[in-house]
Each structure stands twice: as C-alpha cells, then as structure tokens.
Chains A and B, each alone.
Chain A
Amino acid sequence: MKTASIIMILGSLLLLGLFKFPLWNIMLGAPQYPDPLGMNIYIDGIKGVEEFDLQNIDGINHYIGMKTIPKPEEMWEFSVFPKVILGMSVLGVIIGLLGFFGKVSYKFFLGWFVLMAVLGLLGMYDFNNWLISYGSDLDPNAIIKVTNPDGSPMSYKPPLFGFQKLLNFDVTSLPHIGGYLMFVGMLLTLIASWLGRKASLKTSTA
C-alpha cells in the first residue's frame, strides 16, 4: 500500500504540469503558411505558438466571420479549470498521504480516478462545445460564406482530436505536454488503485 500511495501522490502531482505546459495544441497549415500557425490551449487561456499567431489566425478568420479567439476573461472555463486542477491535485495528494498512513483504502484512489475521469470528460465535452460554437457561430455579414452541398453554412469547427481539412487549411488537433502529463498522472492513480487493491487482497487472505 505504501508504494501505491507514493504512486498516487506522484500521479496527482503530475496534474500540476498543466500550469506550465499546454493541455492541447491546434496547428493550422496552409499553402500560404508553410510554417503553420498554431494555438496552445492552456487551462488558463489560449496562446499563440509563435508570438503573433493568434493575431494572424484572427486576421484570417475575419474573412469567414469567425469570432476572435477568446481572451481568458471572456470564458469562465479559464478561471474555473485552474481551480479544479489544483483542487484535484491537492485532493489526490491528501488521499495518497492518508493511504500511506493506512487511514484510507485503495477505493479512495479509484474514487479519485473516477471523479477526475468524469471531470475530464465534462471538460472535453465543454471544449468540444466551444469548438462547435467557435466554428459555426459566424457573422452573418461574413466576407466569404461557404455552404455545404445541402445549402447549410459550412462549419469551421477544428477537430477535437486528429486531422481535418478546412478550406485551404490543414488543421491538426492533439494533446500537448500538459495534457500528456495529465493522462500519465491519471494512469498512475489507476495503477495505484490496482496495486492498493492487490495489497489489500494479500492482507485479507493472509
């Protein structure tokens, strides 16, 4: 159980990487952009990969009537996400410490993982909703209006995960370092639960 608790603490601490590294990254390449434009999505805001990328993405998007990329103060998520991540990390460390001293069982580890997974899914759902709104809530007076074959306006929603072609842009959306650290951290807490369970089964059979 001690090993499991240490892994639990480590896993929870890895979440803190999100304060330093981006959670997600979206790159936009085009014939005119051999060096693609890119945005890094942090839990507290969106930043350009290069200094002027956001300005240039907004500049291009104004032709198709997309809203500008939100500033941190324009989305509640960017103030709530850091609190949730910090809270979950602290909670994970506390559970880990309690486990280390034998105060709680592995079930709390699993509980933390399930809670984090639910919160993560909610976050992804919310993020996807924003992408939909960002890509389809277009200015009716947009300079360029592109429609689907059925006549409905084309959506410029970037993919949540993976690659998509949007007009002249090749858009790739993938997790970034902070996101990978979070996944590894969550995996570690799951391993911690499993190790904890194995240890408790050993004690009960002994």
Chain B
Amino acid sequence: MKNILQTTIALVVILIGFTSCNNSENSKGKSGALASNVAEKVYVAPGEHDSHYAFISGGYSGNLTVYGLPSGRMFKEIPVFSQFPTNGYGYSEETKPLLETSYGFIPWDDSHHPDISQTNGKLDGRWVFINGNNTPRIARISLTTFETEEIIEVPNSAGNHSSSFITENTEYVVAGTRFSVPVPQRDMPIKDYKGNFKGALTFISVDPEHGHMDIKFQILMPGFNYDLSHPGRGKSHGWFFFTTYNTEEASSLLEVNASQNDKDFIAAINWKKIEEYVNNGGGRMMPTNYAHNVHDEATHTATSTMKKEVRVVDPADIPGAIYLLPTPKSPHGCDVDPSGEYIVGNGKLSANLTVHSFTKMLDAIEKKKFDGDAYGIPILKFEDVLAGSVEQPGLGPLHTEFDGKGNAYTTFFISSEVVKWKLGTWEVLDRKPTYYSVGHLTIPGGNSREPFGKYMFAMNKITKDRYLPTGPEMEHSAQLYDISGDKMELLIDFPTHGEPHYAAAIPAEIIKNNSKKIYRLAENKHPRKTTTDAETKVVRDGKNVHVYMAMIRSHFSPDNIEGIKVGDKVFFHLTNLEQDFDVPHGFAMIGANNAELLVAPGQTRTLTWEPKQVGVWPFYCTDFCSALHQEMQGYVRVSPADSNIQLSWSLGD
C-alpha cells in the first residue's frame, strides 16, 4: 500500500514538472504577433444566436442542461430523471408516470452520458438519449419539444454507467452495467462474488420513426465492472466496445483490489451477430420486472407499463461474438475514432494511452491467436491488436474525442489537461491545462463519423478559485477551446449546473428550426382538456373533484369555485388556451404539497390538491404572462366535510 502511494506521488511530481515546462512554452507562443482577439471569438452580440447547441448532463441533478456555444450561456434545464418543481415535472399527474420504476416512484437519478441520434453515422438531431446511473434507466428527449418523452428501466443492471451510446443508425442505444450483481438478484454472501455475479450489457432497440425504446437483448457477461463503451462506426459498424475494470472480481476495497491486474479488458461485441442469433430465437426469456414509461405528445400524458421478462444471452451460447482485448490498467474511456479503425482505451492508471486496431483485431480473430479465455470468452493477445501507444502523454487519461482531421484529444484528470495527439503517428501535438481535473470533453459530433472540429470543451470536476466564491459547494467549471488551428486555444471558462458529466453538441442549424413554438390546441387529445370557456366545469366523483380549467391572458376560467370539502382530493386540469409563442401560464395553489405547474400554450397539465382546512383559498398564475398577470388569480371555497354546499363555479359574475 505504502509502495503504491510513493510511486504515485513520484509519478505525479515528475509529470507536473513535465507539463508545466510545456505550458510555459505554449504561453510564449501565444503572445506573438498572430495572437488573435479571444473575446471576439466568443462574443455573441445581443439578439444573435450561438452557432452550436451543447446538451450537458446535469450529473447528480438528474437533468440535462442546454447551452450555447461559443458563448457558454445556459438556455434551459430539461428535467429528465429528477422532479422539477420549476415546471411541475414529476409532480403533475401527467408526468409522474415517467419516474416510475420497479422500485416504485424514484424522484432523482444521476444522469451521465447524453448522445444524439444518428443516421449513417452523422448526427441527425432528432433525439438525445441519456442514462440514469443509480436506478438504471435510459431516457429519450425530443429535440423538437426539448422535453423528456420516454424512460425505460434497465433490469439486471446496477450503476448504469457504460451508457447511453448509440449505434450509427440509432439501431440501438446501449446500456452497460458498472456493478456486476447476482442475476437474477438473490440473497447470497458478498464474498461469493467471484464467478457468481454477472455484468449485463443491454441493447435497447430504437423505433426509427417514433424513437420508442424496447430491450432487444441483454448479454450476461462475467462479473467485471463495465465502465464505458462506444459503438464501432464505418468499417467497425456492427461491433460495440466496452472497457472493463475489476477483472480481479473484487467486492471490497476496489481502489486497491481492482488495481492489481496489469491489464484489464476492452470487450469487443459483435452485436450484429448476436442480433441475428436473437432474431432466430436465440437466448432465453428471463422473468424480471422493469418499467417502460412513455409520454404521448398528443394526450400530453405519460403512461408507465411494467414489463415482466427480458431476453438474455449467455456468451458461451454464441461463440465468435465476443472477444476480450487486453488493455493496461483499469481503462476508463473507450473511444472509437471517426473511421472506426482505432479503439482508444484510456487506462486511467497507465502512463501510456493504448490504441487498438480494429483491422488487427479481425485478423487475430481470423487466425485464432488467442491467449486463453475468461469464462469461455477468448482473450486476444495485446501485441496482436495494438495499433500503437501514445507514450507518456500525461497522467490519468480518461476520455478521448476526435476532430475529424486525424487528431485525437484526450483528457487527463490528474495532470488536469487536454492533450492533442495524432492518430497513426501517436505523437503529442499540443497540450493545454484545464481548471481543474477534467473528466469528459466534447467536440460537436465527436462521437460520430463526421465531427465538427471547430470547438472542444472540457468539463471539470474541481472549481476552486475559478469564479467568485460561493461557499463550500460550487458548480463545476467548463472550458471552451478553439481547435480549428494547430494549437488549441482557450476561449472561455463557464460554470455549469450540477455535475457536467458529459455532453453532446451539435451545430445549431441541424435542430433549431425544428424547435416547436406551441402545442396545437386542436391536436390536444388530453382526456380532461378544456379547449373553450364553454367546456369549463367542476365534476365530483366521490371524494375526487375534477376541475376543468382554462387559462388565457389574463384569467383562469372558472376563477371562483365553491362546494369543495375538507377531505376532498381536487384535481386541477389546466389547459393553456394560448396559441402564441412563449406565453406559458403557471398555476400555484396555497398549501399544495407538491409544486407549481407551468403549462405551455396548447398543453394540459394536472395538479392535485388535498385541502385540509376550511376557508377560502387563493390560487394564482406564477408565470408573468401579461400586463395583468397579477390579476390572474382565483379562489376556492373549502367547506367542512359534512357541508351540503353544492359544487358551483363561475367567472366574472
């Protein structure tokens, strides 16, 4: 233990010396006559639009934030896995089903890796997918409404981390488990982990028209930790690559016990082959329980369905579909270059970056050059699949993205920098510090066959002194670099929201014209909508009272309601009658034990209120909708439980 510590410290000291020397060289070069005006490069004049969208995961906020590049301005927080009182997501009756799971209603998650849908390996900008890490789920967010449309739970998984990466025609969104667990779950001693726990890698098919997700199959892999993954593309389309750590299969003190093997693996999975096997009836249906939640844009309502079985595939039953590529030292990021040839394993405890060759891998498989097996899965020889190594690039490599011009950019957590290197020659071309301890980095389209290599941004884990201090807890920092030249140029530093775990970015013109302005009232199919003043009503059904209420500048209809009793459960079904861009109305009820509602034009949303006290209680519009917003209010009279006051409602009498 002591030895490891000493070696690490020594290595850190050496590398800091090495990098700081490099930095001073760079800063000298930058102050030359050709130094450009950096402020100009990020200035987006008032009223002008950014050139790119960035969808930055909120990490432990459970949400997804939308930013503009190059300005670094935040436009929106899209609630995904977390309740969001700001607009009532996860509180309104229509959105609550989205957060249902086999564990019941889960109001939070840890969202990690957004990925934008692709067609022919290019970003098509239809949907963005993101994984919930803690209670394994995958969400699909529409890029016309910028709202969460669907969430599917992933059974047999725990710590849904090597997710949610999509294949080049969005055939699948893939979710791998970080923790191996007993499959199916059962009561057993933890020390019996080795050989008994399984790691489920889940292939979720995506309907090409509606985007609806369905688990096609799960591969029950050996009990390693599946850390990150990426699809093959171009020539390697049809394969998927997962990094593993803890091939030692330790269950305790992993920081030591999972760091013993000199090499862990990248698992190469021929999903086309497994798909064919499954299409021919391969695998077996296993009883399980998981939620599939879909929000319907026409009814403005989500439904949750519990699914009871999943198709699982045992690697032993389909030889030739899965191989293990030895990769040094607990690799983290698993990144595939735009051509599909190079698979970069970012060995986080390794001094070198390992790059495997897809062609060499196929060749080694062809020639059956195996070096034993792990639970029946053939292990290829390191030397046979190695394309090359980037020697001593930095310390703590995590993730790599590509610019489409033959260069790769890797983040180094410990030495806190991004290093640019060349594919094929493996030479380091440039390095720039990040502030501080960068995790992921994003290049728009960096995850596709055609990256847009103008910008790169680094998302950091540590903020310290970058901004005005805000107490012990701070938002994380991100830095944007111009990567269009030979050397990277730091442009701006901006704070993010939650934990900016990873991001997907895309040129704005691909999606901005598809963004909806309103929901059409004529297409509203909510069963409890109110589309005209004449349709407003209040209906009692035992203790449940349904209020069909309309909102339009600047009143609620009805705005006076009597006949409600203590012990009733009141459902306010609010329809926003506006058909004008950016005129939402809000609804807040005194003493409601949930949240407010924001209702978009043409939409219907329902808030539940259980009045507990006799009296006359006001409600009001929370969104400053108009000059007479402050007049947009109303009253509900609540009578004793045994009162015989009949229901009545009115507006303007």
Q: Measuring CB to CB, which residues of chain A are less than 8 angstroms from any residue of chain B?
A: 35, 51-52, 55-56, 59, 63, 143-144
Cross-chain contact of B579 among A52, A63, A143 (Cβ < 8 A): A52
Query: Across the interface, do A59 and B580 meet the contact criterion of CB distance under 8 Å?
Result: yes
Query: Across the interface, do B628 and A56 meet the contact criterion of CB distance under 8 Å?
Result: no
- Chain A's interface: helix, strand, loop or mixed, by majority? mixed
Query: Across the interface, do B628 and A59 meet the contact criterion of CB distance under 8 Å?
Result: no
Query: Across the interface, do B627 and A63 meet the contact criterion of CB distance under 8 Å?
Result: yes
Known: A52-B579, A52-B580. A59 touches B627 (CB 8 A): no
Most buried by B among A35, A52, A55, A56: A52
Query: Across the interface, do B627 and A56 meet the contact criterion of CB distance under 8 Å?
Result: no
B581 CB to nearest chain A CB (Å): 8
Instruction: Give every chain B residue within 8 A of A59 (Cβ-Cβ).
Output: 552-553, 578, 580
B544 CB to nearest chain A CB (Å): 33
Query: Across the interface, do B579 and A55 meet the contact criterion of CB distance under 8 Å?
Result: yes
A109 CB to nearest chain B CB (Å): 49
Query: Across the interface, do A63 and B628 meet the contact criterion of CB distance under 8 Å?
Result: yes
Sample 18 A-B pairs with CB under 8 A, ordered by A number: A35-B581, A51-B579, A52-B518, A52-B579, A52-B580, A55-B579, A55-B580, A56-B579, A56-B580, A59-B552, A59-B553, A59-B578, A59-B580, A63-B626, A63-B627, A63-B628, A143-B628, A144-B627
**Digit string of B525-566 for contact with A (CB within 8 Å is 1, else 0)?**
000000000000000000000000000110000000000000
B132 CB to nearest chain A CB (Å): 37
Instruction: Give every chain A residue within 8 A of B553 (Cβ-Cβ).
Output: 59
Instruction: Give every chain A residue within 8 A of B627 (Cβ-Cβ).
Output: 63, 144
Most buried by A among B578, B580, B626: B580
A33 CB to nearest chain B CB (Å): 9
**Pairs of residues from A and B, 10 with the lowest C-beta to C-beta distance, nearest first:** A52-B579, A56-B580, A55-B579, A59-B553, A143-B628, A52-B580, A63-B627, A59-B580, A56-B579, A59-B552
Instruction: Give every chain A residue within 8 A of B518 (Cβ-Cβ).
Output: 52
Instruction: Give every chain A residue within 8 A of B581 (Cβ-Cβ).
Output: 35
* Residues of chain B in range 576-602 having any CB-CB distance to chain A below 8 Å: 578-581
A132 CB to nearest chain B CB (Å): 26
Instruction: Give every chain B residue within 8 A of A52 (Cβ-Cβ).
Output: 518, 579-580
* Nearest chain A residue, comparing its CB with the CB of B626: A63
* Residues of chain B in range 595-653 having any CB-CB distance to chain A below 8 Å: 626-628
Most buried by B among A55, A56, A59, A143: A59
Instruction: Give every chain B residue within 8 A of A51 (Cβ-Cβ).
Output: 579
Instruction: Give every chain A residue within 8 A of B578 (Cβ-Cβ).
Output: 59
* Nearest chain B residue, comparing its CB with the CB of A144: B627
A34 CB to nearest chain B CB (Å): 8
Other 13 A-B pairs with CB < 8 A, given A63-B626, A63-B627, A143-B628: A51-B579, A52-B518, A52-B579, A55-B579, A55-B580, A56-B579, A56-B580, A59-B552, A59-B553, A59-B578, A59-B580, A63-B628, A144-B627
A4 CB to nearest chain B CB (Å): 50
- Complex CA–CA separation, A51 to B581 (angstroms): 12
Instruction: Give every chain A residue within 8 A of B626 (Cβ-Cβ).
Output: 63
A90 CB to nearest chain B CB (Å): 39
B548 CB to nearest chain A CB (Å): 21
* Nearest chain B residue, comparing its CB with the CB of A55: B579
* Nearest chain A residue, comparing its CB with the CB of B47: A34
* Nearest chain B residue, comparing its CB with the CB of A60: B553
- Complex CA–CA separation, A35 to B552 (angstroms): 21
* Nearest chain B residue, comparing its CB with the CB of A56: B580
* Nearest chain B residue, comparing its CB with the CB of A52: B579
* Nearest chain B residue, comparing its CB with the CB of A62: B553
- Complex CA–CA separation, A182 to B334 (angstroms): 69
B628 CB to nearest chain A CB (Å): 6
Instruction: Give every chain B residue within 8 A of A63 (Cβ-Cβ).
Output: 626-628
A168 CB to nearest chain B CB (Å): 10
B523 CB to nearest chain A CB (Å): 12
Instruction: Give every chain B residue within 8 A of A56 (Cβ-Cβ).
Output: 579-580
B521 CB to nearest chain A CB (Å): 9
Instruction: Give every chain A residue within 8 A of B579 (Cβ-Cβ).
Output: 51-52, 55-56
Instruction: Give every chain A residue within 8 A of B580 (Cβ-Cβ).
Output: 52, 55-56, 59
A145 CB to nearest chain B CB (Å): 13
* Nearest chain B residue, comparing its CB with the CB of A51: B579
- Complex CA–CA separation, A51 to B579 (angstroms): 9
**Digit string of B506-525 for contact with A (CB within 8 Å is 1, else 0)?**
00000000000010000000
- Complex CA–CA separation, A51 to B521 (angstroms): 12
- Complex CA–CA separation, A143 to B552 (angstroms): 15
A24 CB to nearest chain B CB (Å): 23
Instruction: Give every chain B residue within 8 A of A143 (Cβ-Cβ).
Output: 628
A150 CB to nearest chain B CB (Å): 25
Most buried by A among B518, B578, B579: B579
* Nearest chain B residue, comparing its CB with the CB of A59: B553
B520 CB to nearest chain A CB (Å): 9
- Complex CA–CA separation, A56 to B582 (angstroms): 12
**Digit string of B302-343 for contact with A (CB within 8 Å is 1, else 0)?**
000000000000000000000000000000000000000000
A54 CB to nearest chain B CB (Å): 10
- Complex CA–CA separation, A55 to B522 (angstroms): 14
- Complex CA–CA separation, A144 to B628 (angstroms): 10
B346 CB to nearest chain A CB (Å): 46
* Nearest chain A residue, comparing its CB with the CB of B552: A59
Instruction: Give every chain A residue within 8 A of B552 (Cβ-Cβ).
Output: 59
* Nearest chain B residue, comparing its CB with the CB of A168: B627
Instruction: Give every chain A residue within 8 A of B628 (Cβ-Cβ).
Output: 63, 143
